[in-house]
Structure 1
Amino acid sequence: MQVIDRLQKKCIIQFKPEVIRIICLGDANETGIQVWSEIKVSTLFNDYRIQSNADNIISMNIASASLLHALQGIQNALATSGTGSGLGGEEVLMKLAKKNDQALLSFALTTPTRTGRSQSLTYDVRIEVLRPLDITKINEPLCPEPDTLILLPSLPTLRSPVERLRALSSTLVVRANVGPPTKLLLEVAGDENEVRVKVEFGVKFVQTNRQGDEDEDEEAEEKDKEKLYTVPISAKSFVKFLNCHIVNGQVIAAICHRHCLILYFYIGSTGPDAGGVLTFYIPSMVDDGPI
């Protein structure tokens, strides 16, 4: 939620029997970034039950800052309860509730005090429950198969040079090849193309499909290993993404030539064993310069 809160004031959370989805739509923020996240239920919950008339799926609009505030309050309470991390027996119960006809996502926490007594804390976050019909109108972006997939350098490493490039131009051109050797180029052109600046990183090509499963991609063998696949994007959007480095984990970047940049932010390991993945879509910008 720290990541989501930095991108958008509101998000959609969808609780399903096996996974939880967090969605941010591009038309709701100035950077145009869309987020489609899927997190395994087992990553977040020990005991999970869901039931609804809509195939046991519940979807809601929620203010990112309000949910983050509740979660941080719970985290602080656990840290000061005497047992620390929340693994010593405390239980946090999250449930869908209603008070005064207002739908809520309610969190209840019981922790021991220093005197040995128990104290209860409750955080209520206002939500808007969405109808199944509302959800059918929301679709994940349709993108072509990526032309190249690379493992990005650490986000803090990228942030400083990208912020400098952003000062020169609002459009950042991202290029990468298949390799080997595989390289990532970040390039901008100053006003009237009088100055062009680029930063180059040596990176690793990733042979995975879009779902993160191992894939013996025969087409990769047939591609021109030196060709640079390119997408011009909003520099502001990329900086916004890089400011989300508070989540530890690897980021895989997929370049769909002249179409979009897709960023897969894995929770835990990559591939089928990952606890979840936050998928960021940054659309291509119209670029009149040479690509």
Structure 2
Amino acid sequence: MRFRASVSEVSTFVQIVKSVSRLSQKCIMRFGEEKMHLICHDATEGGVQVWSQVKVTTLFTAYRIESNQNNEIHLSTSISDLLSVLNSASAMQGKGEVVVKLAKRPVGEQGHLKPVLIWEIGGDTKRGRPPRLIHEHHIKVLKPNEIELLREPLCPEPDIHILLPPLATVRTVTEHLAKLSPHLTISANMGGKLTFKAGQNEAKGVEVETEWGGLKVPSVVNSSGDGSQQQQPERSEDPSHFFSTQVSVKSLLRFLHAHSIMGSTVACICEGHSLIMYLYIGEHEEHGGVLTFFIPAVDGDQDD
């Protein structure tokens, strides 16, 4: 099993990891020949999961991988540890390359060899550059039986896909609506309208609603997140008809902390079942990767 690469886009790597840092303490990095996947599959509070994929060329150069599992390597790691290493690399950016490689190091009194990611950050002593920094990042290599347990959530075909306004704007609106209710009803139609509705007291009919109009209803990656394109499902309904699902405000805000990634976001509504968010690295037509967030629907009568 071998892995070695130069990290060419440290800042993008930092943004990707930051986007999931509020969702889970651990993640799985699956390195393949063409893509790196970042997975948070253990349902957090609110049940949010992340299944992302990033093109190798978006983050790495001089990329080499070899394993007896179809040239794939699955590593489980602490998100905070990974972010700490990447922040260190970001601080040294411009002072030399960042190289990451898989190795083994003796651990404990018995000196048993354990897998680690070795991060070599910075330049050398030539021309006055500071010496290279070395970080040993402890990880776990998943066994085949553990890999078999990794399954994306099963969701019905989305009823509608819609391109969201900037996430920073959506986050501000959501934070205001969070003061009224623990739940939000999110609705969209083929006419390009999107609404967020919160009820302060549904029994008394007090509700607050925010609406956006003129949004694009695009072709998007399919629900498996493999990067292929599909058209919106053909509907006979009036384009003004809204499809809706209700989600936890806390769960939605956890996703909205991903707004540091510069790119477009497509929301997919599976009516009454879930909200799927595709957060693209770049524009979705020519993206360098996509982070897929699965946010389950909630019953309006349940406590959050």
TM-score by length of structure 1 reads 0.88
Distance (whole Å) between structure 1 residues aligned to residue 157 and residue 237 of structure 2: 13
Q: 1:122 aligns with which of 134, 147, 152?
A: 134
Q: 2:114 aligns with which of 93, 102, 106?
A: 102
Q: How high is the sequence identity, in percent, across the aligned residues?
A: 39
Distance (whole Å) between structure 2 residues aligned to residue 246 and residue 203 of structure 1: 24
Distance (whole Å) between structure 2 residues aligned to residue 191 and residue 125 of structure 1: 49
Alignment of 1:1-291 (within 5 A): 1-27=17-43, 29-79=44-94, 81=95, 90-100=96-106, 101-112=113-124, 116-117=128-129, 119-179=131-191, 182-194=192-204, 195-211=206-222, 213=228, 215-217=230-232, 219-220=234-235, 222-271=236-285, 273-288=286-301
The CA deviation at 1:205 is 3.3
SS in 1 for 2:272: coil
Aligned residues of 2:92 and 2:122 also touching (Cα < 8 A): no
Distance (whole Å) between structure 2 residues aligned to residue 56 and residue 141 of structure 1: 25
The CA deviation at 1:105 is 1.3
Judged with a 3 Å threshold, the aligned counterparts in structure 2 of structure 1 residues 161 and 131 are, in CA distance, closer, same or farther, namely same
Cα displacement string for residues 119-177 of structure 1 (whole angstroms, at most 9, x for unaligned residues): 11111211111112111111111112111111101011111221111111111110111
Q: How many matched pairs?
A: 275
Judged with a 3 Å threshold, the aligned counterparts in structure 2 of structure 1 residues 254 and 217 are, in CA distance, closer, same or farther, namely closer
Aligned residues of 2:38 and 2:50 also touching (Cα < 8 A): yes
**Matched letter for residue 131 of structure 2:** Q
Unaligned runs of 5+ in 2: 1-16, 107-112
SS in 2 for 1:244: helix
The CA deviation at 1:216 is 4.7
The CA deviation at 1:60 is 1.2
SS in 1 for 2:123: strand
Distance (whole Å) between structure 2 residues aligned to residue 45 and residue 3 of structure 1: 19
Aligned residues of 1:152 and 1:203 also touching (Cα < 8 A): no
Distance (whole Å) between structure 1 residues aligned to residue 92 and residue 172 of structure 2: 35
Unaligned runs of 5+ in 1: 82-89
Aligned residues of 2:48 and 2:295 also touching (Cα < 8 A): yes
Distance (whole Å) between structure 1 residues aligned to residue 76 and residue 228 of structure 2: 31
Distance (whole Å) between structure 2 residues aligned to residue 244 and residue 26 of structure 1: 18
Query: Which portions of structure 1, spanning 4 or more consecutive aligned residues, are displaced by more than 6 angstroms?
Result: none
Distance (whole Å) between structure 2 residues aligned to residue 245 and residue 141 of structure 1: 23
Aligned residues of 1:264 and 1:277 also touching (Cα < 8 A): yes
Judged with a 3 Å threshold, the aligned counterparts in structure 2 of structure 1 residues 203 and 35 are, in CA distance, closer, same or farther, namely farther
Aligned residues of 1:105 and 1:127 also touching (Cα < 8 A): yes
Aligned residues of 1:207 and 1:214 also touching (Cα < 8 A): no
TM-score by length of structure 2 reads 0.85
Distance (whole Å) between structure 1 residues aligned to residue 195 and residue 261 of structure 2: 24
Aligned residues of 1:148 and 1:205 also touching (Cα < 8 A): no
Distance (whole Å) between structure 1 residues aligned to residue 145 and residue 41 of structure 2: 17
The CA deviation at 1:63 is 0.5
Distance (whole Å) between structure 2 residues aligned to residue 117 and residue 165 of structure 1: 51
Judged with a 3 Å threshold, the aligned counterparts in structure 2 of structure 1 residues 164 and 210 are, in CA distance, closer, same or farther, namely same
Judged with a 3 Å threshold, the aligned counterparts in structure 2 of structure 1 residues 94 and 114 are, in CA distance, closer, same or farther, namely closer
The residue aligned with 2:3 is none
Judged with a 3 Å threshold, the aligned counterparts in structure 2 of structure 1 residues 188 and 217 are, in CA distance, closer, same or farther, namely closer
SS in 1 for 2:219: coil
Once structures 1 and 2 are overlaid, which stretch shifts more, 189-198 or 203-212?
203-212
The CA deviation at 1:69 is 0.6
